[in-house]
């Protein structure tokens, strides 16, 4: 069966076959900034990659990207170059810790935060055409409920909401879930509680949120687990390294490995939506107003 190949920073990686394996695609979101969403995206991706999965991490905070900063990477190219059609997606991918592929976005570029529906569809189509095998695609989307957030949330098979035990975080997490449920019909969500003092506190936060969701919304909110407040996590940020790499025996590293195991137990997607081609298909059904002929 014929295969093709892609190069990540000079490293040859296996190409997709004519019958590509299913890809688990998850978007990591939060109602507000400052809750550790990007740290969770990075460390979850690294933990899964270290466990033997083929993982690609997309920095989809299109105007204020910082995955590369967290990992001490210095990309020469980013998603803005793909949108300008000067470079292909595979040309901008960086090789991160534990073999994670990193798709960097731009920071401080206003246009990236205000893409037209056609540009956004073109960006998602670029992922559908990606030419090497993956097991997991992790999408670190921006905080809030912007058009980009909605589009990526609807395109993903699994949506992970990150919240911490602060009134504004809980309120905004609920607001994000409400918008995606009432306005866009999303009914299944996953929750990670972050910076908690104990597993009991993390589950208590989940119970607060699930209580209000059950009362006012028709959704299923699944609890994935919690990440403890951990000084080693702060140290890893200062060192610009993933904590699961820099301090593998720390409390937060153990938590990320447990979360990676939770994801590993999720059922694999089936059919067309099990491959990266599902991005465009789902965007077409999201009410974006883009006709297929224009792509």
**pLDDT tens, position by position, 122-143:** 776 777 667 666 889 999 998 9
User: CA of 164: how far to CAs of 19, 106, 113, 206, 215, in Å?
Assistant: 41, 27, 25, 10, 21
Is residue 221 classed as helix, strand or coil in its secondary structure? strand
- CA atoms of 60 and 50, how far apart (whole Å): 22
- The mean pLDDT value for 34-46 works out to 95
What whole-number percentage of the chain has pLDDT above 90? 53
Q: Give me the phi and psi of 197, to 5 degrees please.
A: -80, -20
Residues 6+ apart with CB under 8 A from 72: 239, 240, 241
What does the alpha-carbon distance between residue 130 and residue 258 come to, in Å, rounded to a whole number? 29
Domain boundaries of the chain, sorted by first residue? 22-279
**Residue 285 banded pLDDT, cuts 50, 70, 90:** very low
Q: Which CATH superfamily is domain 22-279 in?
A: P-loop containing nucleotide triphosphate hydrolases (3.40.50.300)
Q: What is the DSSP letter of 163?
A: E
Q: What's the whole-model pTM score?
A: 0.84
């Amino acid at each position: 069966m014929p295969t093709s190949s892609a190069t990540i920073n000079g490293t040859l990686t296996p190409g997709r076959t004519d019958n590509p394996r299913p890809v688990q695609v998850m978007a990591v979101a939060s109602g507000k900034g400052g809750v550790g969403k990007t740290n969770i995206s990075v460390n979850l991706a690294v933990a899964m990659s270290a466990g033997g999965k083929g993982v690609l991490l997309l920095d989809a905070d299109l105007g204020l990207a910082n995955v590369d900063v967290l990992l001490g990477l210095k990309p020469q190219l980013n998603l803005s170059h793909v949108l300008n059609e000067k470079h292909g997606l595979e040309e901008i991918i960086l090789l991160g810790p534990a073999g994670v592929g990193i798709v960097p976005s731009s920071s401080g570029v206003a246009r990236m935060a205000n893409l037209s529906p056609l540009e956004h569809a073109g960006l998602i189509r670029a992922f559908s055409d990606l030419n090497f095998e993956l097991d997991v695609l992790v999408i670190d989307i921006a905080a809030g409920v912007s058009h980009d957030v909605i589009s990526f949330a609807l395109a993903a098979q699994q949506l992970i909401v990150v919240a911490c035990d602060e009134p504004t975080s809980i309120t905004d997490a609920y607001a994000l879930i409400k918008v995606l449920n009432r306005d866009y019909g999303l009914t299944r969500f996953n929750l990670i509680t972050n910076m908690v003092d104990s597993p009991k506190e993390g589950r208590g936060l989940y119970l607060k949120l699930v209580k209000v969701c059950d009362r006012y919304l028709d959704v299923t909110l699944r609890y994935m687990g919690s990440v403890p407040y951990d000084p080693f996590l702060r140290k890893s940020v200062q060192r610009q390294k993933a904590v699961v790499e820099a301090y593998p025996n720390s409390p937060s590293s153990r938590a990320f490995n447990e979360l990676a195991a939770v994801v590993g137990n999720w059922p694999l997607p089936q059919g067309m939506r099990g491959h990266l081609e599902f991005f465009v298909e789902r965007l077409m059904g999201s009410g974006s107003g883009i006709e297929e002929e224009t792509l």
